[in-house]
């Protein structure tokens, strides 16, 4: 049985949850919370980050490594396109979603959600303003020109789609929504990814865990 370690509200865990669901793979999930310095989890992932995945004797970490493994081990329902050019693009979108986009979304989430709700501190609104007004716009300008006006990036719904959308769920918990007047194509794309039946089911379950249902 596959075991997924990681709290569902992580953008990286969410990506793996979508991959497992697309491939219809049964699994158990341990809602491992990050930043807890859990010595047991440190044996699973020495970087102490989530997600990690166990499949029989195999233990691996990092959402991209995990999704690539799932693709190789369980080819049914492709997560990546099969031609070299599209596969390279898919990996780039996954990288962008998991690095700069995730970092900026996490900045908003940390300030406006984690600080007030968990740490009982005030958000640094100056920092949030800098992310929203200065740091996100060039990325959103780029993505506005990259994603399709209809459907998904490679036709079928794939890991690139969920990778670019997932961080915005966390920013959404903190009240951030993409300005649909300024970035109509990307904003609609995010809406379509959220509405995909597999993603929607995962978001509904996650909202219940977050006390948002
Ligand atoms: N590149 C990693 C990033 C994973 C990551 O940063 N996870 C965050 C939670 S959303 C984490 O565990 N942070 C804890 C830490 O940095 O110590 C992936 O794709 O899985």
Residue 210 has pLDDT above 90, yes or no: no
Residues 98-127 have pLDDT tens digits of: 999 999 999 999 999 999 988 899 999 999
Q: Determine if ligand 1 sits within 6 Å of the CB of residue 32.
A: no
Q: Determine if ligand 1 sits within 6 Å of the CB of residue 12.
A: yes
Q: pTM for this structure?
A: 0.97
| CA-closest candidate to residue 50, choices 3, 12, 95 | 12
DSSP string, 99-149: IIIHHHHHHHHIIIIIIIIIS-----HHHHHHIIIIIHHHHHHHHHHHS-S
Residues 125-139 have pLDDT tens digits of: 999 999 999 999 999
| Domains (range + CATH), the chain | 2-73 (3.40.30.10), 84-197 (1.20.1050.10)
The number of the ligand 1 atom at minimal distance from the alpha carbon of 10 is 10
Distance CA 165, CA 155 (A): 16
Q: Is the dihedral of CA 69, 74, 77, 83 positive or negative?
A: positive
Mean per-residue pLDDT, 22-33: 98
Residue 166 has pLDDT above 80, yes or no: yes
Q: Determine if ligand 1 sits within 6 Å of the CB of residue 114.
A: no
Residues 53-102 have pLDDT tens digits of: 999 999 999 999 999 999 999 999 999 999 999 999 999 999 999 999 99
Residues 141-159 have pLDDT tens digits of: 999 999 999 999 999 999 9
């Amino acid at each position: 049985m596959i075991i997924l370690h990681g709290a569902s509200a992580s953008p990286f865990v969410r990506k793996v949850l979508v991959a497992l669901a697309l491939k219809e793979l049964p699994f158990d999930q341990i809602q491992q919370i990050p930043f807890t310095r859990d010595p047991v989890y440190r044996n699973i992932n020495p970087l102490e980050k989530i997600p990690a995945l166990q499949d029989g004797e195999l233990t691996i970490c990092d959402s991209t490594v995990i999704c690539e493994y799932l693709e190789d081990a369980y080819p049914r329902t492709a997560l990546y396109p099969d031609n070299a050019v599209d596969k390279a693009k898919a990996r780039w979108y996954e990288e962008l979603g998991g690095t700069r986009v995730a970092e900026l979304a996490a900045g908003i989430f940390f300030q406006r959600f984690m600080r007030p709700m968990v740490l009982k501190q005030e958000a640094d609104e100056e920092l949030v303003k800098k992310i929203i007004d200065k740091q996100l716009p060039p990325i959103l300008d780029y993505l506005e020109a990259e994603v399709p006006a209809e459907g998904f990036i490679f036709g079928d719904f794939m890991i690139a789609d969920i990778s670019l959308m997932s961080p915005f769920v966390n920013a959404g918990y903190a009240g951030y929504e993409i300005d649909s007047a300024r970035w109509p194509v990307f904003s609609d794309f995010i809406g379509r990814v959220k509405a995909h039946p597999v993603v929607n089911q995962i978001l509904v379950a996650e909202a219940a865990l977050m006390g948002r249902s």
